[in-house]
Amino acid sequence: MPHEIPDRVKLSPGNGGLPKVTITSDWSTAEIYLHGAHVTHFQKNGEPPVLFMSDKSRFQKDSPIRGGIPIILPWFGSRDGHAAHGFARLQDWELTKTSENKGAITLHFKMPECPAAAEFPPFSVEYIVTVAQSLTCDLQITNNSKHNFSLEDCLHTYFQVGDINQISVTGLKGVDYLDQMENFARKTETNEAIKITSETDRIYLDTESTVEILDKKLNRRIRVAKSGSRSTVLWNPWIEKSKRMPDFGDDEFHNMVCVESCNVTKNERTIAAGETSSLKIELSTAVL
């Protein structure tokens, strides 16, 4: 099969018969589905998975995958008459290139042209994922038109945690956020270590900070470093919303938290004519 690397990169049918890429680096393993160029798995050798995947996730062409790293583009949230969180995560992306360098594996994906993009000026998207001691994801958007235009983008990352009651999230103290649980009320984060004790849905604004998830139960620190991102979303659906989500288990909120690197609401991205923008994250782990 094209772009396979023996013992390193393999293409095969995944859940629901959707094609997936399995990657083995010197330090870790990963899986990426072509549907949405969706990273569904990253795990360092000898450690628990870094990414959370719902057991209820639908692996269907017309549905987004629940968990891992959905690509949110070109809008965030709901939009009348359109799919929530944009159309990128519903497209079947093309794997265009793979390479190996000193045990690290890099894969390039390209979003296909699609009718849903017709309302936007012409643009193209490449997604570059490197699997090594850390996981690096680089979403590159090129404005192929003669005019500036704006969009929202987000790497909506779900993280596996041992127990939501035993984690804290650091790196956001002093940052203003929109609290979606209180009709987008604007607040300022006062906590050095944020604890999650109820449904949480916050858009932190004007922040390029690295965020860490401190997980006492797994004795692990997950570090979320980013560039080209001015917003961070923190989300956990808690009890009642979990029950309302058909592709999410009622009790799965105990073992996940989303820390999303993005450019949304007032931080939407404007790309100049002929220019390329990059939203890049690096996910790494360490003993707590």
Q: Tens digits of per-residue pLDDT, 62-114? A: 899 999 999 999 999 877 777 789 999 999 999 999 999 999 999 999 999 98
Question: How high is the pLDDT of residue 83?
Answer: 76
The reply to whether 260 belongs to the active site is yes
Question: Are the CB atoms for 74 and 151 separated by under 8 Å?
Answer: yes
Question: Are the CB atoms for 242 and 250 separated by under 8 Å?
Answer: yes
Q: Tens digits of per-residue pLDDT, 114-146? A: 888 888 999 999 999 999 999 999 999 999 999
User: Of these residues, 31, 252, 260, 282, which one is catalytic?
Assistant: 260
User: Of these residues, 156, 189, 212, 252, which one is catalytic?
Assistant: 156
What count of Cα atoms within 13 Å lies in the side-chain half-sphere of residue 107?
Answer: 32
Mean pLDDT of 257-278: 97
Both tokens of residue 239?
């009890």
Domains of the chain in sequence order: 9-287 (2.70.98.10)
Q: Tens digits of per-residue pLDDT, 177-228? A: 999 999 999 999 999 999 999 999 999 999 999 999 999 999 999 999 999 9
Question: How high is the pLDDT of residue 79?
Answer: 75
The reply to whether 254 belongs to the active site is no
Question: How high is the pLDDT of residue 18?
Answer: 97
Q: What percent of the chain has pLDDT over 70?
A: 100
Mean pLDDT of 157-180: 98
What count of Cα atoms within 13 Å lies in the side-chain half-sphere of residue 51?
Answer: 28
Question: How high is the pLDDT of residue 206?
Answer: 98
Closest CA to 253 of 54, 72, 43, 41: 54
